[in-house]
Homo-oligomer: A and B are copies of this chain.
């Protein structure tokens, strides 16, 4: 197989951790017999510096021509004086999502067995770690629905936002969740507020309908307030969580916090791919930011970027074996004790490494 990806390293630690992800890409493509041509392009502050804007036209074109986009991170103090809409994050990430209509936000919430100490949850509740995938609808609901307005003045002011979904938006996000669950532990927990919201009635009906096409996947329903409790009480009960935009915003952040190690968490924003083969076009990026405070020092944790590559291989290129191999290699280096500064605790058996050494360790473990 031959694939094309766009590589947008961006700012801060972006280029450093991207270099390690590309090392890993070289290794898995050689091992599993596929090729990936990469088009590198400027984005964020780097886009502003080289091309005058956070999302240059040629960067958009590179993304359009690719099967997927591997994104680093953008932003930093150098560009904070700019108007909000021209700044790296607002000026690059949001327009990219909008340009491609990326409606599915996937965030793994993984706590590896060797890192449960870093989670705020008591060890006995998460022994053996946990592995959740949160699938959040990203382009509908209360954050985008019309009408939204303020009317009247002073003490009589009234304010309105609208939670609006078209059934087709629910169907397509459901499919993403069920497809993902098929490659995992085959359980989807759909989160709604069906005891109160009209939206949730259609949501629940739609999830149940789509589930019929996935008889091998179990579907459970849970109210959003209960989900917020269950994530804390017993995160191991979840495989794939699927929910609408606002609920997903809240729950995915709660879930990430419960994992404990933000430097380990990738994310993906997907839309339907060009071919009807179960693959998605998508933008893959670490959950963390550009970390300008440690940029250029070569000490950042590259694992979130490496796991972003793994997601890209799985969901956009269909190279599942390569993705599984990367996930296993990451687990293995953590089990062996390799720790960048953000993960280190000083415990016996830890091997302190920098960015490149961690990347090399993952390659070696493949």
Interface residues of A (CB under 8 A from B): 119-123, 125, 142-143, 145, 148-150, 154-168, 171, 193, 196-199, 201-203, 224-226, 228-229, 232-233, 246-247, 249-254, 256-258
When the two chains form their complex, are residues B159 and A165 in contact, meaning their CB atoms are under 8 A apart?
yes
Given contacts A120-B121, A121-B121, A148-B198, contact A163 B160 (CB under 8 A): yes
Considering the chains assembled together, what is the distance between the CA atoms of A167 and B160 in angstroms?
A: 11
Which of B199, B226, B229, B232 contacts A161, CB < 8 Å? Answer: B199
When the two chains form their complex, are residues B150 and A201 in contact, meaning their CB atoms are under 8 A apart?
yes
When the two chains form their complex, are residues B168 and A155 in contact, meaning their CB atoms are under 8 A apart?
yes
When the two chains form their complex, are residues B163 and A163 in contact, meaning their CB atoms are under 8 A apart?
yes
Q: Could you say which residues of chain B place their CB within 8 Å of the CB of A156?
A: 166-168
In whole Å, how far is A160's beta carbon from the nearest beta carbon of chain B?
5
Name the CB-closest residue of B to A251: B228
In whole Å, how far is A218's beta carbon from the nearest beta carbon of chain B?
24
In whole Å, how far is A94's beta carbon from the nearest beta carbon of chain B?
12
Which of B159, B198, B229, B250 contacts A160, CB < 8 Å? Answer: B198
Considering the chains assembled together, what is the distance between the CA atoms of A36 and B139 in angstroms?
A: 56
> What are the nearest 8 A-B pairs in CB distance?
A229-B257, A228-B254, A225-B253, A159-B202, A157-B167, A161-B163, A148-B198, A228-B250
Considering the chains assembled together, what is the distance between the CA atoms of A167 and B153 in angstroms?
A: 9
Which of B148, B167, B197, B246 contacts A143, CB < 8 Å? Answer: B197
Q: Could you say which residues of chain B place their CB within 8 Å of the CB of A160?
A: 145, 162-164, 198-199
Considering the chains assembled together, what is the distance between the CA atoms of A244 and B154 in angstroms?
A: 20
Q: Could you say which residues of chain B place their CB within 8 Å of the CB of A122?
A: 119-123
When the two chains form their complex, are residues A232 and B120 in contact, meaning their CB atoms are under 8 A apart?
yes
When the two chains form their complex, are residues A202 and B164 in contact, meaning their CB atoms are under 8 A apart?
no
Which of B142, B229, B232 contacts A142, CB < 8 Å? Answer: B142
Q: Could you say which residues of chain B place their CB within 8 Å of the CB of A196?
A: 143
Which of B154, B165, B252 contacts A158, CB < 8 Å? Answer: B165
Of listed A120, A121, A164, residue having the most chain B CB within 10 A: A120
Q: Could you say which residues of chain B place their CB within 8 Å of the CB of A171?
A: 155
Considering the chains assembled together, what is the distance between the CA atoms of A253 and B254 in angstroms?
A: 13
Q: Could you say which residues of chain B place their CB within 8 Å of the CB of A225?
A: 249-250, 252-254
Considering the chains assembled together, what is the distance between the CA atoms of A154 and B202 in angstroms?
A: 10
Name the CB-closest residue of B to A206: B157
When the two chains form their complex, are residues B198 and A161 in contact, meaning their CB atoms are under 8 A apart?
yes
Name the CB-closest residue of B to A258: B232
